[in-house]
Amino acid sequence: MWLIENGGLTVPKTTCVDLFCGAGGLTHGFVLEGLPVLAGIDMDPTCRFPYEANNRTRFIERDISKVKEGDLLFLFGDAEYKVLAGCAPCQPFSTYAQRYSLDDNSKWRLLYEFARLAEGVMPDVITMENVPRVAKHTVFDDFVRTLERLHYHVWYAVVDSSQYGVPQTRRRMVLLASKHGEIKIVPPTHVKPKTVREAIGQLRQLKAGELSQSDKLHVSSTLSEKNIHRIRASKPGGSWRDWPEHLVANCHRIKSGSTYSSVYGRMEWDKPAPTVTTQCYGFGNGRFGHPEQDRAISLREAAILQGFPQDYAFVPDDAFVNFKVLGRLIGNAVPVNLGRAIAQSIKLHLNSVIGNSTI
């Protein structure tokens, strides 16, 4: 067996396995809400340290297509109620993938693998999170039909993460399914969205390319001399259209590039951040300029905007900080507070349909 033995530990009455777990955003939300997670599975080895160091549970490095139903059943052990989470990588479904056919399901096999495991394990509750465009793909319809054929009650909707305490305008498709009755996400927990100022306003000031001595993730990428002039000419909430003519990039002078108004932009202090992406550390990759400091946001600021605690460790103390790797881990994560809302929904559902001692 490739799985680690449980070592005689008592399996909680209700527990979860997190497929495509990444750096642990969803798992951390579950842990904070008291919903135990037995393990996270992901094929990316760079996820192991942040996942295990912050969540006190095991990371299994494995391609989901190689995971057997029996492996998951072994993991769940004697748990009375099983929760299976599966937030498949969203890039195939994003707007950047529009050049692919919506009906070419070979591109989206991971969601089919999730459906295979769900059918083989038949957990009590299933949850999935992805970008809104996933619903336009045949594979999503197939996934829902599979669950309905297995007599799950299925709910899904596009959720605004800012309504659940995420300081970011991140819209996500959330699906919940249960064998035991109707289930849906809890009502919004935040009437007033959390702002950039509330999230990162207290962090130490940095210059472009500077590293904080007290936090190796509070580091910003360097900027060329021209980009220093560009960010100084940028207004919070504005765009490259605010610049003097000599600073405008050639790609923005042509018709195809003139519509990309959000690149080279600053965030606004008193609004939620824009959607954090895998390239959020780059000033030219979106509206990722700091609201007032002449630099892009740091990796730590990006992680906080994704809801990770300020002390969430992504690399060992002696490890090199790789912007590309850590940007990917942070940008791909399920926002922690959205994970908390999903966990709250599952707990509320199980306690209402089964009993008050479920979790």
Crossing angle of the two packed helices 109-121 and 69-76, in degrees rounded to 10: 50
- In terms of Cα–Cα distance, which of 342, 346, 345, 313 is closest to 329? 313
**Residue 114 CB partners (closer than 8 Å, separation 6+):** 19, 64, 86, 88, 128, 143
Which DSSP helix (H) or strand (E) runs through 154?
Answer: strand 153-160
Apex 348 CA angle, 347 and 352, nearest 5? 115
Q: Classify 182 in phi/psi space as left (phi over 0), alpha (psi -120 to 50) or beta.
A: beta
Query: Could you give the CA distance from residue 287 to residue 3 in angstroms, rounded to a whole number?
Result: 42
Query: Could you give the CA distance from residue 190 to residue 335 in angstroms, rounded to a whole number?
Result: 15
* 3-class secondary structure, 177: strand
In b/e form, how buried is each residue of 299-326, taking b as 16+ CB within 10 angstroms? bbbbbbbbbbeeebebbeeeeeeebeeb
| Active-site residue, 90 included | yes
Q: What share of the chain is helix, strand, coil (3-state, %, to 5)?
A: 40, 15, 45
Phi, psi of 268 (to 5 degrees): -110, 135
Query: 180: buried, middle or exposed (CB in 10 Å: 19+, 13-18, 0-12)?
Result: middle
* 3-class secondary structure, 125: strand
Pairing of strands 81-86, 58-61: unpaired
Across the beta sheet with 58-61, the strand order is 58-61, 37-42, 14-19, 81-86, 125-130, 171-178, 153-160
Residue in 16, 21, 47, 90 annotated catalytic:
90
**Residue 224 CB partners (closer than 8 Å, separation 6+):** none
Q: Do the Cβ atoms of 175 and 128 come closer than 8 Å?
A: yes
Which active-site residues does the annotation give? Answer: 90
